[in-house]
Amino acid sequence: MASLKELKNRISSVNSTKKITKAMKMVAAAKLRKAQDAAEAARPYAERMAAVMANLATAADGPDAPRLLIGTGKDEVRLLVVAAADRGLCGGFNTNIARLARERIAALTAAGKTVKILCVGKKAGDALKRLHSDKIIGVIELKGVKTLDGAVAGRIGDRIVSLFDEGGFDVCEVISSQFVSVMTQKPRAQVLIPARDAIDPGAPRPDLKGAVYEYEPDEEQILAALLPRYIKTVILSALLENLAGEMGAKMAAMDAATRNAGELIDKLKLEFNRTRQAKITKELIEIISGAEAV
């Protein structure tokens, strides 16, 4: 049985931890609102961009179409862009993304594909390097980034496009998390390159109202200019969804940790009181026994 001093120290320690987790929950809740607004605000733009790309891709799906649209014509080397958080203490958020990434790696490897991994976020690299360090070609950390914006997505997009132009891969997938609600974040994998495979055939197309458009310059040149922007848009949307999911998962995890700490404090206090009562009873028995012996 622990001594009174040990129990008192444990109560003090758990109480300090409870204060920290409660503060982290409040910080995550404050950041969640802003992150959720940013993620939801980016969705209409991404959907409209996908609709425009689908409309153009239909008219420019030929041998002269940009390679970012139609790909290399092969499917031998896959690049997986695994986007996770830069920090932990957010429940199973990073674990779920890493699990989906490992499943995709296993499936592609079993199909005879060569897999390369580009990690976005420190935790993505930490989760995959133990089993797949030979496949990781780089880790892009977001620790010093204060705001996720087009410039951040642009740097990542430029690196991916540069690797594609150098012949580093044939198909690129982005593995990230989709923000559903504060309590729910859904890991997902979406094709990025070739963009033709990423476009949902059921996506709503722009309503031309019977009009016929003539493109100047032609569709191929317009696509060549729009495709890099489309890639950066998809990456930015994935990063914003990740940030909202991370804050939601962190708020839920810190709330659970705070409740658990409170329950543990109650148990320790009960044990402390019982131990103190037992000690007092023992001392009284010793006093009475000594008095009777005299």
Please list the pLDDT of the chain residue by residue as tens digits (294 residues). Answer: 678 888 889 999 999 999 999 999 999 999 998 999 999 888 888 888 887 777 777 666 666 777 888 888 888 999 999 999 988 888 889 999 999 999 999 999 999 999 999 999 899 988 898 889 999 999 998 877 778 888 888 999 999 999 998 999 999 999 999 998 888 889 999 989 888 777 655 555 556 666 666 666 666 777 777 888 888 999 999 999 999 999 999 999 999 999 999 999 999 999 889 888 888 888 888 788 777 776
Q: Which of 32, 69, 90, 140 is catalytic?
A: 90
> What pLDDT, on a 0 to 100 scale, did the predictor assign at position 288?
82
Distance CA 254, CA 187 (A): 21
- Residue intervals in the chain for CATH 1.10.287.80: 4-20+254-293
DSSP 1: -
**What was the pLDDT predicted at 212?**
64
- What are the residues facing 79 on neighbouring strands? 116, 172
Give yes or no for a contact between 79 and 116, defined as CB atoms under 8 angstroms apart.
Answer: yes
Cβ(248)–Cβ(32) below 8 Å: yes
Q: Where are the beta strands (DSSP E) in the chain?
A: 77-83, 114-120, 136-140, 171-179, 185-193
Distance CA 124, CA 85 (A): 7
Angle between helices 4-59 and 219-293 (to 10 degrees): 170
Q: Enter the CATH code of domain 31-205+212-253.
A: 3.40.1380.10
Tell me the CA distances in angstroms from 122 to 125, 127, 199, 210, one per residue in order: 5, 9, 29, 50
Asked if 90 is an active-site residue, the reply is yes
Domain 4-20+254-293 part of CATH 3.40.50.300: no
Whole-structure pTM value: 0.82
Which residues, 6 or more positions from 185, have their beta carbon under 8 angstroms from its beta carbon? Answer: 93, 96, 177, 178, 179, 245, 248, 249
Alpha-carbon gap, residue 220 to 107, rounded angstroms: 34
Quick one: pLDDT at residue 109?
93
pLDDT at 17: 93
Q: Which residues contact 52 (CB under 8 A, 6 or more apart)?
A: 206, 226
**What integer pLDDT is reported at residue 213 of this predicted model?**
62
The gap between the terminal CA atoms of the chain, to the nearest Å, is 32
Domain with CATH 3.40.1380.10 in the chain: 31-205+212-253
pLDDT at 182: 81
